[in-house]
A = this chain, B = another copy of it.
Amino acid sequence: MLTYDLSQRGKRTMYEFLYEKMKDDILAGRLAKGEKLPSKRALSEHLAVSVKTVENTYDQLLLEGYIRSEEKKGYYVNHIEKVTGNGPAYASFVTKYQEEEYLADFTANNIHYEKFPFATWAKVMRETLTDYDTSLLKTVPFNGVEALRVQIAEYLYRYRGMQVSPDHIIVGAGTEYLYSRLLQLLGQDAIYAVENPGYRKIAKLYEANHSKWTYIDIDKQGMDVDALRQSQATVIHVSPEHHYPIGLVMPVGRRQELLAWAAQEKERYIIEDDFDCEFRMVGRPIPSMQSMDRSHRVIYMNTFSKTMVPSLRISYMVLPEKLMERYISTMNFYSCTVSGFEQYALASFMEKGYFERHIRRMINYYKQQRDFIKKVIKVSELGKVCKIIETGAGTHFLLHIDTPLSDVEIKWAAKEKGILLNCLSEFCFENRERYKGLLIMNYSDMEERQLRKAIAALEEIFCE
């Protein structure tokens, strides 16, 4: 009869141990297919355990299908294919996503963590826990917590000139996530156009979603309307507040041409990517394209990643009425991807004025940063071989360098000195030569000492 050394069971209960042992024997073929098991009473006497222990063991083996019970006959071992291979299913495969060390990273449009009012944010989160209590647990509507959508609508009214109902806003975990939903909403027939040069990650999203897409050159006003008209595109992705990385503000004339293009045909839309619109260093906020749209063709997208922190993962989009209705009727089975708690906390942070205060402070801080870096460049040797091209929008500018080096050589030379750089040509789908020798300088998370060292290193590259 089955015999197991029950003293070896360690911390396991008798029943767990017996179950494991019998299971192992069945899987290894030591208990063969069709073999009749001893009766519960017989096995309990043999092993000197309670009948209940054997009963629990048999029940579990039955439940998992290792054995079967035949009425009035007893328990039999089932046919189980032998397991081939051995050891744990997964090796202790450990991937290292080690970040490289560097002196300065001009490629990252990051926030300056130390400038974020964490204490205030933590206070608001604590208050939210107390104020909302268990109502924080409730399932969030598919488009986000209403209190947050109301705050967003008010913010858009005050700062972007937009009159938007909170019911047109969809809150989601990041712009990429909302973009995926949007691509689904617009369907497989849509053909997307991005700006050349432009933000390449958008094209990556199209690729990953198997969407058709193309690129269209920009001129000094933004996306070329004639080229757009000649293309097959039905949906365009633009950043009228300022083009990244060129910084161009799309003038009102071009905006209206694009709006007119969209209004001409059904199912034409404009995705207005308003990332970083809050950080305008010169002049007052420029109203969004959405606020000029009379034909309900603009889909507005923005995020709290830069205005708050990236780890918060809250973005939103504003859909025109027709698309919102389509979303509700076809896609509202997708649950909202942002936790209720953080939506309530952000709504409260906005309502209490902390959000706008933080943005005002950051604009001032970034202005100082910008003036500082520009000054350092101007008084350096580098200043003699470069020209700063800046439009007062966003937390970056372009540096045009007079150098025989190719853009690839620039990148490698910089990298050897511990400086991560992107060139404008990297944002081109074609016509790279037109944009040669233009470095993109993201300065938002730089510190003074770091900046001075980085500029000195660039001097060594370009001023030998």
Contact = CB atoms under 8 A, between A and B. Distances in A.
Interface of A: 16, 19, 56, 59-60, 63-66, 78-81, 83-86, 88-95, 97, 113-114, 116, 118, 122, 125-126, 129, 133-134, 136-141, 162-165, 167-168, 173-174, 176-177, 180, 184, 188, 201, 204, 208-210, 221, 249-257, 260, 282-284, 286-287, 290-296, 298, 309-314, 320-321, 324, 328, 330-331, 333-342
Contacts of A180: 180
B221 A209 contact: no
A66 B252 contact: yes
17 contacts: A19-B284, A63-B249, A65-B253, A65-B255, A66-B252, A80-B252, A83-B256, A94-B165, A95-B167, A118-B133, A122-B129, A125-B129, A125-B341, A180-B180, A184-B209, A314-B339, A341-B342
Given A137-B113, A284-B19, A286-B64, A168 B90 contact: yes
A311 B340 contact: yes
A138 B162 contact: no
A294 B87 CA distance: 8
Given A251-B64, A313-B335, A85 B295 contact: yes
Contacts of A90: 163-165, 168, 296, 320-321
Given A85-B295, A134-B114, A167 B80 contact: no
A260 B65 CA distance: 17
Contacts of A113: 134, 137-138
**Which 7 pairs across A and B sit closest by C-beta, in order of nearness?**
A65-B251, A85-B294, A173-B337, A311-B340, A88-B163, A173-B173, A137-B309
A169 to B, nearest CB: 11
A79 B252 CA distance: 9
A315 B173 CA distance: 13
Given A95-B167, A174-B337, 16 more contacts: A60-B283, A63-B283, A64-B249, A65-B251, A65-B253, A78-B251, A81-B256, A84-B294, A89-B294, A95-B328, A113-B137, A126-B126, A177-B337, A208-B331, A312-B341, A313-B338
Contacts of A250: 65
B208 A81 contact: no
Given A89-B163, A116-B137, A313-B339, A65 B221 contact: yes
A311 to B, nearest CB: 4
Nearest to A256: B81
Contacts of A84: 294
A79 B253 contact: yes
Nearest to A166: B94
A122 B320 CA distance: 38
A254 B342 CA distance: 43
A311 B95 CA distance: 31
A16 to B, nearest CB: 7
B176 A335 contact: yes
Given A163-B89, A210-B188, A339 B312 contact: yes
Contacts of A320: 90
A204 B80 contact: no
A457 to B, nearest CB: 25
A133 B309 CA distance: 14
A403 to B, nearest CB: 30
B328 A176 contact: no
Most chain B CB inside 10 Å of its own CB: which residue of A79, A80, A257:
A80
Contacts of A174: 335, 337
A250 B65 CA distance: 8
A333 B210 contact: no
A321 B93 contact: yes
A66 B250 CA distance: 11
Given A133-B118, A137-B116, A173-B173, A89 B167 contact: no
Contact of A311 (B188, B256, B341): B341
